Structure 1
Amino acid sequence: MQVELDGLFKDNKTFDYDDYVYKDEVCPSSTVSGSLAIFIPLLYSVGFLWGLLGNGLVLTILWRKRPKLSVMDIFILNLSVTDSLLLLTLPLWAADAVKGWFMGTGLCKLAGAMFKINFYCGIFTLACMSVDCYLSIVRGVRMFSCKKRVVVYCSCLIILIICLLLSIPDWIYLRPIRASRDTAECYYPPNTCRLASRLSHIVCFVLPALVLLFCCSSVLLKLWHNSKCQQKKKGRSTAVIAALVLAFFICWTPYNITFIVDTAQPVDSISSAGADDCEGRQWRASKITAIFGLLHCIVNPVIYLCLSKEFRRRALTMIKFSACETDSNDISLWDSSEGNRNASVQEEQGSLQPMNDINQQ
């Protein structure tokens, strides 16, 4: 039998692979470049310094007023503590924006968990404040009172415990993935735990957000239809709560929208190897919108300084290192100056009379 081999070996040639250059698809780096590489770390640095001053003033003033903390004081203390903890992670995020994550798994878990804890604690605390304000002004009853401060402290403790439980997936699964030789980025592995954590995050944003919108709109409508005298007595503390809620939505809504959009992507495209690598390296919209969430921890002290005369007076007194002659723990930091003492005494008595009955009298 004769075999024809001309088809296989007639035109056979050797190829030199020494000069061959392998070209692979390269995903964008997780670090920023150009003007952003200077602007974002500078923004974090200024926010860090201002946050230390602002939250430090809030904590100091509330500490000096600790024998007679009101219900709103306790909730604002809870917000300031979690804002201060997130504030301490801003240098880590500034370094991540420039060089990527090179600080190890431990700090990666800490920074990511504090980011989520601040979000959960903020929205749950504001929901409690809004519900209490709604019940006292619209329904004429109080969910919390200064006669039972233990209930308020227990509520804040429960909020913190819930936030810690919701951040457990971050402590377990959050880790840096190598994007190149000297940069890394925190990400979740695309699995069932990732999806469950994202769904719980979305639920914990949507449901409290609906409660906040309902309570704030009801209170504002109630105050709008009442007399100017009643607006003067109740408008100051209500304005502080409304401003806190508005600032929270402005800072956190862009991040949560991109978070929901990213979660809604098909699982197959996320779980594929190439898409997973690119997702871990790109400077995505979620990273940009997360900047607003991180900088939210410096916004609340600005609201207190702008809307509270008593808080502004005490803050200026502390900055000047001068003694405050009229300091009194009975004076509320958040109500208007007129009828301030009467408001605190009324809060001590427990429940408030419905505003419709007050107008009739």
Structure 2
Amino acid sequence: MTHDKRPQIAPVTSRAEEADMDVDLGGFLSQNGTYDYDKDYEYKPDDESEGSQAVLIPLLYSAVMVVGQLGNVLLLVILIQKRRSWSISDIFILHLGVADALLLATLPLRAVQAAEHGWRFGTELCKISGAIFNINFYCGIFLLACISVDRCLSIVHNTQLFTHNKPATAHLSCLFAWFISLILTIPDWIFLTVVTEDKGTVCRNDYSQSVTNGRLLSRLRHHTLGLLLPAAVLIFCCVRVLLRLQQRSKSSHKQTAFMVLLPLVVVFFLCWVPYNITLIVDTFRNGPKEPLDGSLKTALMVTAALGCVHACLRPLLYFGLCDNFRKRTVALLTCTTDESQGSLCELGVGEEARPDQSQEAVEEMKPMTSVEQQVQSPQC
């Protein structure tokens, strides 16, 4: 038995096979840099939100325009029919209806802008549309403040700011509210223009060519004279009237009239306060030359649409709260005659000092007459 003592020879591999077996780690190990997510990763927003806005916002504007114009046209027609017997409340309702009708007339322009993501109507219509939007807000809050001041003076102090014998005072007050509203919209006529942005053209205020702090001064004018001061007057008068009415055990005509005014004030604030809060955030967040970011731009669009909704809610409130307006509306739609007297909507402006005083006088005279009868009865 023989043993093979020849040395074991390892298998021979070719250089090509050795090259295939080598692993090149140099490329992987040489990647020592960090990945910059801010520069290398670009976030592309989902177009679904913009697509939904392009559908929902125009639909909202269209519904508001149709319902609001029908209600305000009906309101103005009824007021024209009873123009010979206008009360002080009817005068204020007339001016509020005209302001709402003007705003509703500009809603098709806003609907097209929201649908096409751009303004297509030129600079002139941009200025007119934006100015009417603010005029409606200013005129609405100023007229409500006038009515609330009259109610506060009548209920708390037993005096009146407006009287039925002098309707010219009410007309002058309404015209003065229109004049102040026009004065406050002067910056809109100056700075509103069509601005080209990344995704198209928009109608907004452009302060890039204005003087230093022009944007801040314009916004402060809006927030103080247009919002804070009239709102403070409204809230103060409403609180004083509510506290006064709580002290009265019996219901009165004044209390009924104020309960009609109060929902109008509450709905006005619910519709307009969100837009003004968003505008305040924009004032202190973005500079005059900086474009709006996506979230703030969307918030301004939605809250502005909510403010426009108020123009169609006011006739609905009249129909639900005011018996005379409801009766005249039904009579107009059914082509019948209505002989209801008094104001179209009992806001109580300039009319309620006498009924309550006479009622209180009757209540005070009742115990006196009973005593006199007791005294005179033995003599009979």
TM-score (norm 2): 0.76
TM-superposed deviation, 1:96: 1.1
Q: Distance in 2 between matches of 1:92 and 1:353?
A: 51
TM-superposed deviation, 1:171: 0.8
Counterpart AA for 2:67: W
1:196 and 2:217 correspond: yes
Q: Which runs of 5+ in 1 are unaligned?
A: 1-22, 337-342
Q: Which residue of 2 aligns with 1:290?
A: 304
1:125 and 2:143 correspond: yes
TM-superposed deviation, 1:279: 4.8
Q: Distance in 1 between matches of 2:120 and 2:265?
A: 35
1:97 and 2:117 correspond: no
C-alpha offsets along residues 201-226 of structure 1, whole Å, 9 cap, x if unaligned? 10120111111111112212222221
8 Å Cα contact 1:138/1:354 also seen in 2: no
* Residues 227, 28 of structure 1: alpha-carbon distance in 2 compared, 3 angstrom cutoff: same
Q: Distance in 1 between matches of 2:97 and 2:330?
A: 19
Identity value in percent: 42
8 Å Cα contact 2:160/2:353 also seen in 1: no
Q: Distance in 1 between matches of 2:220 and 2:42?
A: 32
1:237 and 2:257 correspond: yes
Aligned to 2:297, what secondary structure does the other structure show? coil
* Residues 354, 155 of structure 1: alpha-carbon distance in 2 compared, 3 angstrom cutoff: farther
Q: Which residue of 2 aligns with 1:333?
A: 344
Q: Distance in 2 between matches of 1:26 and 1:183?
A: 23
Q: Which residue of 1 aligns with 2:250?
A: 228
Q: Which residue of 1 aligns with 2:82?
A: 65
Q: Which residue of 2 aligns with 1:17?
A: none
TM-superposed deviation, 1:181: 7.4
TM-superposed deviation, 1:173: 1.1
8 Å Cα contact 2:206/2:288 also seen in 1: no
> Which structure has the bigger radius of gyration?
2
* Residues 354, 207 of structure 1: alpha-carbon distance in 2 compared, 3 angstrom cutoff: farther
Counterpart AA for 2:168: V
TM-superposed deviation, 1:131: 0.3
1:156 and 2:161 correspond: no
Q: Distance in 2 between matches of 1:201 and 1:116?
A: 9
Counterpart AA for 1:41: P
Q: Which residue of 2 aligns with 1:35?
A: 52
Q: Which residue of 1 aligns with 2:351?
A: 347
TM-superposed deviation, 1:73: 1.1
Q: Distance in 2 between matches of 1:259 and 1:111?
A: 18
TM-superposed deviation, 1:283: 2.8
Counterpart AA for 2:245: L
Higher relative contact order (CA 8 A, sep 6+): 1
Q: Which residue of 1 aligns with 2:69?
A: 52
* Residues 27, 180 of structure 1: alpha-carbon distance in 2 compared, 3 angstrom cutoff: farther
Q: Distance in 2 between matches of 1:29 and 1:355?
A: 66
The number of residues matched between the two structures is: 322
Alignment RMSD (CA, Å) = 3.2
TM-superposed deviation, 1:83: 0.5
C-alpha offsets along residues 37-72 of structure 1, whole Å, 9 cap, x if unaligned? 222111111111111111111111111121121111
8 Å Cα contact 2:192/2:203 also seen in 1: no
Counterpart AA for 2:119: W
Q: Which residue of 1 aligns with 2:321?
A: 307
Counterpart AA for 2:277: I
1:260 and 2:274 correspond: no
8 Å Cα contact 1:31/1:97 also seen in 2: no
Q: Distance in 2 between matches of 1:242 and 1:48?
A: 25
More deviation in 315-324 or 39-48? 315-324
Aligned to 1:183, what secondary structure does the other structure show? strand
8 Å Cα contact 1:108/1:176 also seen in 2: yes
* Residues 25, 150 of structure 1: alpha-carbon distance in 2 compared, 3 angstrom cutoff: farther
Q: Which runs of 5+ in 2 are unaligned?
A: 1-39, 366-380
Counterpart AA for 1:58: L
TM-superposed deviation, 1:290: 1.0
TM-superposed deviation, 1:271: 4.3
TM-superposed deviation, 1:277: 3.3
Aligned to 1:228, what secondary structure does the other structure show? coil
